[in-house]
Structure 1
Amino acid sequence: MNQDLLGRVALITGAGAGIGRETALQMAARGATVCINDIKEELVTPVVDTIKDRGGKAFAVPMNIASREGIREAIRRSFELGGRFDILVNNAAWVRYQAVPDIMPETMERMLDVGFKSVVWSLQEAAAVMDPERGGSIVNVASVAALRSAANSVVYSGIKAGILGITRAAAAELGARNIRVNAVCPSAVPTEGTQRNRDAERDANRIARTPLGRLGTVEDIARAICFLASDDAGFITAQALTVDGGITLTNI
């Protein structure tokens, strides 16, 4: 793997498992110093240890980012540990799928706190600590649910669509500071977090409707995130990169 992120310092939220964990591993392999965030220390420590065992650089930043102060402190700590701050990946989410009559205030509030509000607060702090000459890259993890939704996903789809709006508006505002802001929109990817919403029949149906004939993997999504964070995407901002094997924009 090339070293296109050598010397960069990155914070990845929700990096204890799934897409976040794989993104951390890939960024570290590309030379970045990676700050691993998740809500509990026992989630982040194994990822940090794995990166160090592979010769990479990583720090644990266990913290609840579901508040303004939580996400801002995670960014500040990453800046202090790494000595600079270049890349932010807003990956953390807390998800429950509910039919419209079953949506409860406490469920919606937690989903908004983790998956939407934290992204807004992170932009404030990232813009404050990123060097204006070097600039930086922010990658928000949205979903194909922002583009094409299903039943029982009103809150989830709304949040992910909102992430695309945040991405475009932040790109327009922060471009003057040499900060690029993009999003990735994964399709259904097998992870620990999505296991409860998957079954063999549903997976088979998705595969049958996907032009590339398979489900995506965490490796697929992480590679897209690393690309958007790298200088190879140096003139790309305000974009939503759909990583879905073609399922969203085709009909097979």
Structure 2
Amino acid sequence: MQQDLAGRYALVTGAGAGIGKATALTLAARGAIVGVNDLRDELVTGTVEAVVATGGHAFPVVKNVSTRQGVTEAVNTVCEKGGRFDILINNAAWVRYQPVQDIAPETMDRMLDIGFKAVIWGIQAATAVMDRARGGAIVNVASTAALRSAVNSIVYSGIKSGILGITRAAAAELGARHIRVNAVCPSAVPTEGTIRNRNEERDARRVATTPLGRLGTVDDIAKAIAYLASDDAGFVTAQWMAVDGGLTFTNI
């Protein structure tokens, strides 16, 4: 694989499993030195070991990114490790699907803290340490739920729609500093975290209505993120990319 990210320091939040872990592996395979963030030591250790096993470079960043302090500490850990900060992947999320009548304040607050506020705090912390001449890249993980919504997803869809707004606004503000801000919108991807919301019947229905005839994988999403983080996307900012096999914008 190409080494176009060699020497760049990246932080991937929520990288202990799923899309985050795959992204850490993909960025490292392209030469980046990756700060692996998650809340649990064993998850972070597992991803770091997986990166090292494939010949890449990674180090643990065990911080709680549901708070501004935690996000800032995570970013600063990466910066202190390498003396620079180049790439931020805002991937962490905590999700519950509930009918409107069942939404509790504590559920909404946790989803907002991790999935929405942490994106803004991450952008704030990253831009404070990114080199003013060199700039950097920020990729926010949204969802096709920002584009088309299902029942019981009012909070989740609202958060992911908000991430697209954050992405555009941050790109407008930070472009003069050579900082690009983009988003990916994955469709339903089988991961450890999504298993509670999936079943064979639902997966079969998704496959049947997806032009490419399969579910996406974490590697599909990770490769899209790596592209947006790389110089190949050097003139791409304020954009979102649906990585969904054509599901969202077709009707088959």
Partner-residue secondary structure (3-state), 1:61: strand
Q: Post-superposition shift, 1:134?
A: 1.0
Matched with 2:13 is 13
Equivalences for residues 1-252 of structure 1 within 5 A: 1-252=1-252
What is the identity, as a one-letter code, of the residue corresponding to 1:214? R
Give the Cα separation in 2 of the matches to 1:87 and 1:112. Answer: 23
Most deviating of 11-20 and 80-89: 80-89
In the TM superposition, what whole-angstrom CA distance separates every residue of 1:212-249 from its partner, at most 9, and x where no partner exists?
00000000000000000000000000000000000000
Give the Cα separation in 1 of the matches to 2:49 and 2:231. Answer: 27
Give the Cα separation in 2 of the matches to 1:193 and 1:25. Answer: 18
Structure 1 unaligned residues grouped into runs of 5+ = none
Partner-residue secondary structure (3-state), 2:38: coil
In the TM superposition, what whole-angstrom CA distance separates every residue of 1:179-211 from its partner, at most 9, and x where no partner exists?
000000000000000000000000000000000
Give the Cα separation in 2 of the matches to 1:223 and 1:126. Answer: 22
Give the Cα separation in 2 of the matches to 1:164 and 1:54. Answer: 33
Give the Cα separation in 2 of the matches to 1:194 and 1:123. Answer: 26
In the TM superposition, what whole-angstrom CA distance separates every residue of 1:111-159 from its partner, at most 9, and x where no partner exists?
0000000011111111110001111000000000000001000000000
Give the Cα separation in 2 of the matches to 1:82 and 1:213. Answer: 42
Q: Post-superposition shift, 1:50?
A: 1.6
Q: Post-superposition shift, 1:42?
A: 1.0
Q: Post-superposition shift, 1:52?
A: 1.5
Give the Cα separation in 1 of the matches to 2:45 and 2:82. Answer: 17
Give the Cα separation in 2 of the matches to 1:235 and 1:82. Answer: 26
Give the Cα separation in 2 of the matches to 1:57 and 1:208. Answer: 39
Partner-residue secondary structure (3-state), 2:183: strand
CA RMSD of aligned residues (A): 0.5
Give the Cα separation in 1 of the matches to 2:77 and 2:181. Answer: 21
Give the Cα separation in 1 of the matches to 2:31 and 2:172. Answer: 29
Number of positions where the alignment pairs a residue of Structure 1 with one of Structure 2: 252
Give the Cα separation in 2 of the matches to 1:46 and 1:215. Answer: 25
Give the Cα separation in 2 of the matches to 1:227 and 1:95. Answer: 26
Partner-residue secondary structure (3-state), 1:181: strand
Identity over the aligned pairs, expressed in percent? Answer: 71
Partner-residue secondary structure (3-state), 1:138: strand
Give the Cα separation in 2 of the matches to 1:147 and 1:222. Answer: 20
Partner-residue secondary structure (3-state), 1:10: strand
Partner-residue secondary structure (3-state), 2:88: strand
Give the Cα separation in 2 of the matches to 1:53 and 1:18. Answer: 18
In the TM superposition, what whole-angstrom CA distance separates every residue of 1:39-66 from its partner, at most 9, and x where no partner exists?
1111101111121122211110011100
Give the Cα separation in 2 of the matches to 1:82 and 1:162. Answer: 32
Give the Cα separation in 2 of the matches to 1:4 and 1:99. Answer: 45
Partner-residue secondary structure (3-state), 2:193: coil
Give the Cα separation in 2 of the matches to 1:159 and 1:76. Answer: 26
Structure 2 unaligned residues grouped into runs of 5+ = none
